[in-house]
Chain A
Amino acid sequence: MVRFERTINMPEKILESFNVKHLSILDEKGDTDESLMPSLSDTDIKMMYELLVLSRTFDHQALNLQREGRIGSYAPILGQEASQIGSAFALEKTDWIFPSFREIGVYITMGYPLHMLFQYWSGDERGVKTPEELNIFPVCVPVGTQVPHAAGAAMAIKYKNKRKAVAAYFGDGGTSEGDFHEGMNMAGVFKLPVVFICQNNHWAISVPREKQTASKTIAQKAFAYGFEGIQVDGNDIFAVYKATKDALDKAKKGEGPTLIECFTYRMSDHTTSDDASRYRFKEELEAWKPKDPILRLRLFMEKKGLWTGQYQKEVEGRAKEAVDEAVKKEEAIEHPEPKDMFTFTFEKLTQRQTKQIRDFQ
C-alpha cells in the first residue's frame, strides 16, 4: 500500500508583473514638476507655443473653408495639439513618420508646406506628394494599417544600421485592428527602432474608448509584446515631449520599441461630415475644456515671463498671415489634367495605358 509521507505546497508563482505609469509634468494651472521637466530652452518653449497656435489657426481656417465649400471633408485636431506637436517636436527631420488622417499638428511641426495640407484636404492628392527633404508618409485613411508599415520602415533602418527611428501615429480605435497588434508584435520580437504613438482622444467616430477595448489603458498593451508602454497626459506638451524623446533615444540606441498613449480628447466632431452632439454628452466636452493644452502652456510661460499680451498678438498675427498665405497659394495651383490619373497609376506608363489615355481624350 502506498503511503504519502508528506504533502507539499505548490503555490502559483508570479512570473511577471507590470506597472502602467502615467506621466504628467505641466498641470492645468501652468505649474510644473521641475524634477521631471525635460531640457528645453526658452526658445524651444516659445517655438512649441507658436506651433500650437499655428496648428489651431490652421484647424480653424480649414473648418471655415469647409463650411464655405472650398475644401471637401476635414478631420480637426482641436484639443489634441499638444499630443501632436509635443511628440513631433522630439523627432528629427531624418526620422520617419507614419501618420493616420488626423495629424496636421505633426505635419506642421515637421515643416510640411501649409498650402500642400490645404491642397490635400481640398481634394487634390498632389498635396501628399511629400517634399524630398521630409520623411513623412501620406495620410493613411484605412484605420490602423500604417502600424505594420512603420515596423517595416524600422526594420529597414535596422538593416541599414542607421541612427534613426520611426514614429507611428494612430488613434484609440486603431488599436482594435489586427494590423496594430501584428505590427507591435513584430517590433517587439525584432527590437525595432519604432515609437508607437496612440492619440487616445476617447472616441472613434461614435464609439467611445471603453467600447473599443476592455483594457484599463492602451499603454498596457505593449507589455504583451515584450516592451514598455506609458500613458502620458496628452494635453501636457512637456510630458508628451519627454516621453517621446526618451523613447526615440532608446530606439536609436537599439533598445527597441515603446508605446506611448497620449491621453487626450477630441474636442471637435470626428470630421466635418459628423455631428458629435448626436452621440456624446455636452458635460464630457465641458469637463475637458479647462484642460486645454494651449491655455496651460500659456499660463506656464506667463509665470516664466515668456508670455505677454503683445507677444500673443504677434504670434496670432504671424499664424494668421502664414495660413492666409497658404490658402492663397493653394487656390492659385492649377488643376490637374485628366490624363494625370493614368500617369501615376504605375511608375511608368504601360503600353495599354498609353492607348487608354488616347481613348479617354
Chain B
Amino acid sequence: MPWTKVYVDKSEFEKAAQLQKEGLRGLTFREALKEATAQMMEKDDRVFVMGEGVDDPGGIFGSTQGLHKKFGKERVMDLPIAENGMTGVAIGAAMAGMRPIFVHMRMDFLPMCMDQIVNHAAKWCYMTGGRTNVPLVIRSIIGKGWGSAAQHSQALQALFMHIPGLKVVMPSTPYDVKGLMVSSIQDGNPVMFIEHRWLYEQIGHVPEEIYTVPIGKGIVRKQGKDVTVVAVSNMVYEAMKAVQPLEAEGIDVEVIDPRTIKPLDEDLIIESVKKTGRLVIVDIGWKTCGVSAEIAAVVAEKAFKYLKAPVKRVTLPDVPTPNSPVLEDAYYFDYKRIVSSVKEMFREV
C-alpha cells in the first residue's frame, strides 16, 4: 500500500510515484498536518486553533501557515504567553462544546501546563461520570539541533503516557499525521499530539479527502523474521535506514511503528516478538521510565517465554540535552546506533 510505506527521502517517493500509474499525491508532513486541520475546520465549525505564534508568517514551522487568513483570527488565535492559563481556557472551551487544537511550538512549554493537563483535562470525564468530557488536541513539537538545549528540545512523551485519561500519539509519516489529526479532533478525550521537528520535510502519499487513522493501532513498516525493532516518531526513519546494513549481516529486521504510544498496540508488538524472539526499542526520549521501559515491560509480561535474548533499548542517556555541539553529537544517535545494538544482540547470544 503506498500510504503504509515510509519514504526515507524524496527521491524514493518520486521513484514510487513514477511506478504508480494512477499517480501518488505527495505531500510533506507539514502540508498533510495543515490540510487535516483546514479540512476539519471547514467541516466542523467547533474546531479552532490556538497557540503562541499560530498566525505568525512562519506559522509553526509552516503547519498553520496562512490558516488565519482563511478562517479569521477568531478561529486561528494567537495568544498572550501564558501556557497553563491558556490550557485552562482550552479546557473550558472544550467542555462548552468546542474542539480546540492548542499548539505549542516546543514541547518544553508543556511542563508549564501540567496542572491543567494532568489535574483537569485528563480527569473531568472520569470525575463527572462521563457527563463532561474534554475533547482537546494538544500539539507539541520536539526539537533538536544547535541551541535547542536543555529547555528547548525535550521529548517528554513518557510523562503523558503515565497519566490515565490522556491519549498520546506520535505520527511519523505524512499519511498518518493527517489521519491521526482527524481522529484526534474527533476523539472525545484529550489527545497529546507529538511531532518531531525533523519530520516536517518528510514526504509521502496523502489522499485528498478526509480519512482517519485509528488511535491505538500500530503498523508493521517492514516485515522480518529475526528481530523486532519498535521505533517511535522520527526513529522510524532511522530504523528503516538500519534495515539494509543489517540485511548485509544476514539479519532480517521487522520494523514496527506504534504511531500511538498510548493506548499502545500491544498485540502487534507481542505477535511480532513471538515470531522473531528478539526486541529492540528505539525512542527519542530518556531511558528511565521512558516509552521503551513500558514496551519492554509489556513484552516481559506477555511474551517472556518467546524471548531468545534480553530486550535492548536504544534511547537518550539520562541527562539533560546538552547545548554544546560536541556534547550534542555524543548525546543524539542515528541508525548506526540501531545497527550496532542489533548486531551486539546477536553477538551476545
Which residues of A are in contact with B by a Cβ distance under 8 Å?
72-73, 123-126, 141-145, 173-174, 176-178, 204-207, 211-213, 278-279, 335-336, 338, 340-342, 345, 352-353, 356, 360
Sort A-B residue pairs by CB-CB distance and give the 10 closest, nearest first: A176-B80, A338-B330, A72-B147, A278-B57, A335-B326, A206-B56, A73-B147, A341-B319, A72-B146, A345-B319
List chain B residues, Cβ under 8 A from A125.
149-150, 322-324
Q: Which of B147, B317, B325, B328 contacts A360 (CB 8 A)?
A: B317
User: B149: nearest residue on chain A (CB-CB)?
Assistant: A125
User: How far does the Cβ of A160 sit from chain B's closest Cβ, in whole Å?
Assistant: 29
Q: Which residues of B contact A145 (CB under 8 A)?
A: 112
Report whether A123 and B147 are in contact in the complex, using a CB–CB cutoff of 8 Å: yes
With known contacts A124-B323, A335-B326, A341-B330, A356–B317 Cβ distance under 8 A? yes
Bound CA–CA A206/B80 (angstroms):
11
Name the residue on B nearest A360 (C-beta): B317
Binds A, one of B81-89, B129-137, B254-262: B81-89
**Inter-chain contacts of B108 with A (CB < 8 A):** 142
**Across the interface, do A177 and B81 meet the contact criterion of CB distance under 8 Å?**
yes
Determine the distance from Cα of A167 to Cα of B84 in the docked complex, in whole angstroms: 25
Chain B residues with Cβ below 8 Å from A204 are 81
Q: Cβ of A141 and Cβ of B318 under 8 Å apart?
A: no
Which residues of chain A have C-beta atoms less than 8 A from B320's C-beta? 341, 345
Least distance between B50 CB and chain A CB atoms (Å): 13
A272 to chain B, nearest CB (A): 9
Q: Identify A336's interface contact among B147, B150, B318, B326, CB under 8 A.
A: B326
Query: What is the bound-complex CA distance between A135 and B268, given in angstroms?
Result: 55
Closest to B105 in A: A205
Within 171-226 of B, Cβ neighbours of A (below 8 Å) are at none
> Complex: how many Å from CA A177 to CA B325?
31
Q: Is B304 an interface residue (CB 8 A)?
A: no
Instruction: Give Cα A50 to B80, complex, Å.
Output: 37
Asked if B324 and A124 sit within 8 Å, CB to CB, the answer is yes
- Contact in complex: B327, A340 (CB < 8 Å): yes
Contact of B319 (CB < 8 Å), options: A72, A144, A342: A342
Q: Say whether B274 faces chain A, with CB atoms less than 8 Å apart.
A: no
CB proximity of A206 to chain B, nearest CB, Å: 4
**A211-B81 CB under 8 A given contacts A141-B151, A279-B56, A336-B324:** no
Which of chain A's residues have a CB closer than 8 A to the CB of B147? 72-73, 123
In the complex, how many angstroms separate the beta carbon of A62 from the nearest chain B beta carbon? 13
| Neighbour of A207 across the interface among B52, B319, B323, CB < 8 A | B52
Interface: B53 (CB within 8 A): yes
Q: How far is the CB of B28 from chain A (nearest CB, A)?
A: 20
Residues of B within 8 A of A206 (CB): 53, 56-58, 78
Q: Report if A178-B84 is in contact (Cβ < 8 Å); known contacts: A142-B112, A341-B319.
A: yes
CA distance A11 to B84 in the complex (A): 40
Q: Does any Cβ of A come within 8 Å of B306's Cβ?
A: no
By beta carbon, the residue of chain B nearest A352 is: B318
Q: Once the chains bind, are B81 and A176 in contact (CB under 8 Å)?
A: yes
CB distance from A5 to the nearest CB of B (A): 50
Q: Give chain B residues whose Cβ lies under 8 Å from the Cβ of A124.
A: 323-324
If A206-B57, A212-B81, A213-B80 are given as contacts, then 8 extra A-B residue pairs at C-beta distance below 8 Å, sorted by A number, are A125-B149, A125-B324, A176-B82, A207-B53, A207-B80, A341-B319, A342-B317, A360-B317
Distance in angstroms from A119 CB to nearest chain B CB is: 10
Q: How far is the CA of A209 from the CA of B318 in the complex (A)?
A: 40
Please measure, in the bound complex, the distance between the C-alpha atom of A345 and the C-alpha atom of B150, giving whole angstroms. 11
Instruction: From B56, B78, B150, B327, name the one whose CB has the most chain A CB atoms within 10 angstroms.
Output: B327
Q: A72 to B320: give the CA distance in the assembly, Å.
A: 19
Q: Which residues of B contact A278 (CB under 8 A)?
A: 56-58
| Contacts of B211-253 to chain A: CB distance below 8 A | none
Nearest opposing residue in chain A for B78, CB measure: A207
Q: Is the CB of A211 within 8 A of B151?
A: no
| Contact in complex: A338, B327 (CB < 8 Å) | yes
CB distance from A133 to the nearest CB of B (A): 24
Q: Which residue of the partner chain B has the closest CB to A128?
A: B323
Distance between Cα atoms of A356 and B78 in the complex (Å): 43
Is residue B139 within 8 Å, beta carbon to beta carbon, of the partner chain? no
Which chain B residue lies CB-closest to A353? Answer: B318
* Complex CA distance for A176 and B83, rounded to whole angstroms: 9
- Residue of B with least CB distance to A279: B57
A110 to B255 CA separation, bound complex (whole angstroms):
55
Given contacts A123-B147, A356-B317, whether A177 and B327 have CB atoms under 8 Å apart is no
- Give Cα A144–Cα B80 distance, bound, in whole angstroms: 12
B323 A211 Cβ-Cβ under 8 A: no
| Residues in B whose Cβ lies below 8 Å from that of A341 | 317, 319-320, 322, 327, 330-331
Residues in A whose Cβ lies below 8 Å from that of B151: 141-142
Q: Contacting B85 at CB < 8 Å: which of A143, A178, A205, A340?
A: A178
- Alpha-carbon gap, A353 to B318, bound state (A): 8
Q: Which residue of A lies closest to B86 (CB)?
A: A176
B318→A345 contact, CB < 8 A: yes
Write 23 A-B pairs (CB below 8 A) sorted by A numbering: A72-B146, A123-B325, A125-B149, A142-B112, A178-B82, A207-B52, A211-B78, A212-B80, A279-B56, A335-B324, A335-B326, A336-B322, A336-B324, A338-B330, A338-B331, A340-B322, A340-B327, A341-B320, A341-B322, A341-B327, A342-B317, A342-B319, A345-B320
**CB-nearest residue of chain A relative to B84?**
A178
The residue among A73, A124, A278, A341 with the most chain B CB atoms within 10 A of its own CB is A341
Smallest CB gap from B331: residue in A:
A341
Looking at the assembled complex, report how far the CB atom of B123 sits from the nearest CB atom of chain A, in whole angstroms: 20
A138 to B147, CA, bound (A): 15
